[in-house]
Amino acid sequence: MTQPIAAGRTVTLTRHFAATPERLFDAWLDPSDVRRFLFATPGGEMVTVEIDPHVGGDALIVERRGDEEALHRLHYEMIERPRRLVFLFNACVAGGPVADEWTRVTVDIAPEGDGARLTLIHEGVWSDFEDKTREGWTMILASLADL
């Protein structure tokens, strides 16, 4: 996978789960779990869940949403059960414009209390705003709020 990761901002989510880190980790690579939680939308129908859970392996998750099919492609870069999962990610609509922008998702899992804390980091989501100048603008404008 040689596509560069689109430069851009990062989306981060953190959440506590009442589950062991192992259980939580396995959900990301087990097709029967993935089918139920990952990229599923209300009213959508999961039509394809193919996972090759190895470093260098790919996954394809397709959900039918009305007339559209939403394609999610994953390419696993790091699989360290139960601590860390890293994959390249690309989402597009079947038959629509091909999205050749790959972003990177890191799933970090750490024990927390009697459960586990999951941190999801999605890098490069700012594909529409790769122009550094604009990035500069938005930073500056955002910081104006603090003046």
Residues that bind other proteins (CB under 8 A): 9, 11, 13, 15, 17-19, 23-24, 27, 33, 36-41, 118, 120, 122, 125-126, 128-129, 132-134, 136-138, 140-142, 144-145, 147
Q: What is the C-alpha to C-alpha distance for residues 65 and 63, in angstroms, rounded to an integer?
A: 6
Residue 77 beta carbon to other proteins: minimum distance, rounded to whole angstroms: 18
Residue 54 beta carbon to other proteins: minimum distance, rounded to whole angstroms: 22
Which residue lies nearer to other proteins by CB, 56 or 138?
A: 138
Residue 39 beta carbon to other proteins: minimum distance, rounded to whole angstroms: 6
Residue 78 beta carbon to other proteins: minimum distance, rounded to whole angstroms: 18
Q: Count of CB atoms within 10 A of residue 30's CB? A: 14
Q: What is the C-alpha to C-alpha distance for residues 46 and 72, in angstroms, rounded to an integer?
A: 11
Q: Count of CB atoms within 10 A of residue 117's CB? A: 16
Which residue lies nearer to other proteins by CB, 56 or 136?
A: 136
Place of tokens 């459960």: 115
Which residue lies nearer to other proteins by CB, 62 or 118?
A: 118
Q: Please give the backbone phi and psi of residue 134, each rounded to the nearest 5 degrees, phi first.
A: -60, -40
Which residue lies nearer to other proteins by CB, 23 or 64?
A: 23
**Buried-state track 58-97, b at ≥16 Cβ within 10 A, e below 16:** ebebbbeeeeebbbbbbbbeebeebeebbbbbbebeeeee
